[in-house]
Amino acid sequence: MLDMTTKDIKERSGITINPCKTCEPVGAMFCALGVHKCMPHSHGSQGCSSYHRTVLTRHFKEPAIATSSSFTEGASVFGGRSNLNTAVKNIFDMYDPDIIAVHTTCLSETIGDDVGSYILDMEIPEGKYVIHASTPSYEGSHIQGFSNMMMGFINYLSKQTGTKTGITALFPGWVNPGDCRELKAIAKAMEVPVTMFPDFDNTMDSPMTGHFEYYGAGGTPIPEIGRLGDASSVIALGKFASGESFDLMQKKFHISGASLPMPVGIALTDRYIMALRKISKKEVPSGLEAERGRLVDLLMDATSYTYKKTVAIFGDPDIVYSLTSLCLEMGMIPRYVVTGTPKSEFETLTRELIDSYNLEETCEVKADTDLFWLHQKIKNDEVDLLLGSSYGKYIAKAEDIPFVRAGFPVLDRYGATIQSVCGYKGGVYLAEKIIDALLSRYDRDVADEDFECVL
């Protein structure tokens, strides 16, 4: 398994080996699936669309619906306007969505298709919408595609009338459906009415009813996106997935609020709850305080098994930052913290977070890199735990390291997307998985005379 990976690390450019990201349209497609009765549309060849759908379907274990402009040689040479016009007509006729969210691909970007002007000229049925986002995949990552599509929805649909709705716009970032439910539950407990956008609750984890429906019951309703310009405040979670939309809300509608990291663990969940408290001016309910206390108690109970354990954390920048925060709260050493997304700000922010703990040990933080680099690093200086997407399983097997799956994509396990890693409850869920992995390794390796039932 990955036997050819060498210890010898050489400077590389122009080649990525075992990427730690995927392409922009995957993020655009995912974002669009968080809008009620929305059909994501891939303006490019069928191969791109199939790949993007496959990644999402394999992670969520739910069919990720999407359509394609089905480029062939003709569209590649003469442009995709005619394909898009035909596609939009067919999609409304056959699948009856309320909105089509078009994203571009490498091919349509390279030939210079001006999708915005195509949409201005096309016939759109009364009461229906077509929007678009530019998502060239030769830059950024799926996180940038997600962000671009969020801004596409806001730019096309959100209006300002001047009459405030009293609603807080809650941008969850790149999260699972279980996280959406938990984030909304915390906002409700804090008595803050929110519009979550996008909202994957009941779209990417629809219950089995025995009836086939193209569109799940969930997703942000279009009228609610339309009213975002009149929101009273905005809370954006995940700097890299939601930060640009937060800036757009400030610039376009002058709506202020808070741009925060994903609320994973104690400190980051505290920040989310304090931002809600600032809006509602209500005390934190005893139920939330009890949840917090249970998480603190769990981390203290297990500290002798987590303290100074080294961990390599990899994946998307928002979740990796927040997982790093949780690991630090558990007394662990984030030896390597890695994302494939090319954002140098990730390095600055994560470095600041780690430095705030005054660790004596060396921690390396790197953006815009791949899992081959991480594997080489681990070969030189092993860690006690791997924490990240399913792609880490090859390193885990090769180096015989305990592995906890978290983030995107998790392709080889079931049920994680229904759970939340956000909030205090999510912290308990994640911490339990981490402690379990470390103790299972301890039990496996310990000498017979030290093998105990009680730990």
User: Residues 294-323: x/- map of binding to ligand SF4 (CB under 6 A)?
Assistant: ------------------------------
Q: How far is the CB of 71 from ligand SF4 (least distance, A)?
A: 10
Q: How many helices (H) and strands (E) does the chain have?
A: 18, 13
- Using CB under 6 A, which of 16, 19, 51, 294 touches ligand SF4? 51
If the CB atoms of residues 105 and 233 are measured against ligand SF4, the closer one turns out to be 105
If the CB atoms of residues 22 and 269 are measured against ligand SF4, the closer one turns out to be 22
User: What's the CA gap between 169 and 33, in Å, rounded?
Assistant: 18
Q: How far is the CB of 358 from ligand SF4 (least distance, A)?
A: 42
User: Residues 398-437: x/- map of binding to ligand SF4 (CB under 6 A)?
Assistant: ----------------------------------------
Locate tokens 């402690």: which residue? Answer: 435
Q: How far is the CB of 68 from ligand SF4 (least distance, A)?
A: 11
The string of DSSP letters for 315-341 reads E-HHHHHHHHHHHHHTT-EEEEEEESS
If the CB atoms of residues 69 and 269 are measured against ligand SF4, the closer one turns out to be 69
If the CB atoms of residues 58 and 184 are measured against ligand SF4, the closer one turns out to be 58
User: Cβ contacts of residue 97 below 8 Å, gap of 6+?
Assistant: 37, 38, 39, 91, 128, 214, 215
Residue 105 binds ligand SF4, judged by CB under 6 A: yes
Residue 70 binds ligand SF4, judged by CB under 6 A: no
- Using CB under 6 A, which of 2, 91, 106, 284 touches ligand SF4? 106
Q: How far is the CB of 90 from ligand SF4 (least distance, A)?
A: 21
Q: How far is the CB of 61 from ligand SF4 (least distance, A)?
A: 21
If the CB atoms of residues 221 and 342 are measured against ligand SF4, the closer one turns out to be 342
The C-alpha R_g of the chain, in whole angstroms, comes to 23
Binding region for ligand SF4 (CB under 6 A) out of 44-52, 87-95, 257-265, 445-453: 44-52
Binding region for ligand SF4 (CB under 6 A) out of 43-51, 177-185, 269-277, 365-373: 43-51
Please work out the total of residues on this chain that contact ligand SF4, with binding judged by CB under 6 A.
Answer: 8
User: What's the CA gap between 110 and 217, in Å, rounded?
Assistant: 37
If the CB atoms of residues 19 and 221 are measured against ligand SF4, the closer one turns out to be 19
User: What's the CA gap between 63 and 351, in Å, rounded?
Assistant: 38
User: Cβ contacts of residue 276 below 8 Å, gap of 6+?
Assistant: 168, 186, 187, 190, 192, 235
Q: Where are the beta strands (DSSP E) in 340-446?
A: 364-366, 385-388, 403-405
Residue 111 binds ligand SF4, judged by CB under 6 A: no
Residue 445, both tokens: 């390796």
Q: How far is the CB of 347 from ligand SF4 (least distance, A)?
A: 24
Residue 268 binds ligand SF4, judged by CB under 6 A: no
Q: How far is the CB of 395 from ligand SF4 (least distance, A)?
A: 24
Can you list the alpha helix ranges (DSSP code H) found in 33-176?
Answer: 46-60, 73-78, 81-95, 106-110, 115-121, 142-157
- Using CB under 6 A, which of 69, 83, 134, 137 touches ligand SF4? 137
Q: How many CB atoms lie within 10 A of CB 165?
A: 16
Contact (CB, 8 A) for 37 and 219: yes
Residue 25 binds ligand SF4, judged by CB under 6 A: yes
> What pairing do the DSSP bridges indicate for beta strands 233-237 and 168-171?
parallel
**Burial category of 167 from C-beta neighbours within 10 Å (exposed 0-12, middle 13-18, buried 19 and up):** middle
CA dihedral 87→88→94→100, nearest 10 degrees, is: 120
Which residues here bind ligand SF4, judged by CB under 6 A? 23, 25, 44, 48, 51, 105-106, 137
